[in-house]
Amino acid sequence: MVKIAVVGAGNGGQALAGYLAMKGFDVSLFNRSKRRISPIIDSHSIRIEGQVVGEYHISFATTNMEEAIKGRKLIMVVVPAFAHKEIAKRMAPYLEDGQIIVLNPGRTGGALEFNNVLKEENVKKDVILAEAQTFIFASRMSNPGVAKVFRIKNAVPVSALPATRNAELEEVLCTAIPEFEIVKNVIYTSFNNIGVVFHPATLILNAARVETTAGKFEFYFEGISPSVAKILEKIDEERCKVMKLFNADPMTAKDWLNYAYDVRGNSLYEAIRNNVGYRGIYAPPTLDNRYILEDLPMSLVPISSFGEEYGVKTPVIDSIINLANIMMGKNFWKEGRTVKDLGLEGMSIEDIIRLVEEGES
């Protein structure tokens, strides 16, 4: 069995590390700060609740990146997308030939951004970089060393950058986690970014309720009413229009719920209501949360940027970004990933497709 490093020990990272340990893999766990992993450093164990139940032992937990990834064939990066640049810089000096890095997920443009940092850091090692379309679990961390898995998704699209490395990626990643499904290229993972549909607008439209109840309501079942779902459908529609620029067939949010969770509905609202995997997932206790701080700059902003660059208007997406700017006292237009920041300014659609499929000439 390949040795695996999980980089990031939040909700997803702890759940994934425990899940992989359950499957018998030699797992290391890295976190930037010691606070979240102190109990795991001592016990080497993670307890999982929910769809998977048990206490499972990992090899070790550490705040030392070199120690965490040394000799590890598969490196699963499970941090908010706004931390990808920092993680890439920390990882760069210690990468080894033959390692596979997977961003879980990349959000929009994650692999492109991560790759740009590795180039800036002059990494010459032969590594494979890939991004997943979403995270494999709906999960929450109840305490350090205890994670609840509400639902394991049926399938998660993933692709390497460039796509010419997909066969090598599949041989290792899909053997470890069969739920991963190789797709054509990172256009499919970056723009089929379903979190961008569900998370930021729902949180912003429930801002008063979040701030007056500290998030004491079920995010999907109570936060997404029929009228809120109509806004989400418009965001989804704009996302799909931008993706179609790249001669790619987008998966609608309603179709994705069927793909990932086996749920159907005549509308997006109905499909969400039919997903028992969302039951018990509460809203964030504050607006200062990754649903805005990650999904705005790393998902909505790049989708809008690609639309602006190539002639597709995104008025509903833009309105959510503008509202968030006011509410959070930030300028996500400047903080977020853009066509320029990703090194794609001036490139044609055909150039970008060639880049993600074949790599740089």
Helices (H), 23-83: 38-43, 65-69
Q: Tens digit of pLDDT for each residue in 118-127?
A: 999 999 999 9
DSSP 240-295: HHHHHTTT--PPPHHHHHHHHH----SSHHHHHHT-GGGTT-BPPSSSSSHHHHTH
Q: How many CB atoms lie under 10 A from the CB of residue 84?
A: 23
CA dist., res. 76 & res. 4, Å (int) = 7
Phi, psi values for residue 124, rounded to 5°: -110, -5
Phi, psi values for residue 62, rounded to 5°: -155, 160
Spans of the chain below 50 pLDDT: none
Closest Cα to residue 189, out of 275, 103, 117, 126?
103
CATH of 3-190, one of 3.40.640.10, 3.40.50.720, 3.20.20.140, 2.40.50.140: 3.40.50.720
Domain boundaries, the chain: 3-190, 194-347
Q: What is the CATH number of domain 194-347?
A: 1.10.1040.10
- Which pLDDT value is given to residue 156? 95
Which sequence positions are flagged as catalytic?
199, 295
- Which pLDDT value is given to residue 361? 61
- Which pLDDT value is given to residue 199? 96
Classify residue 215 as left (phi > 0), alpha (psi -120 to 50) or beta. Answer: left
CA dist., res. 116 & res. 44, Å (int) = 34
**For residue 164, what is the DSSP state?**
G
Is the entire prediction scored with pTM above 0.85? Answer: yes
Q: CB-based contacts of 119: which residues, under 8 Å, 6+ apart? A: none
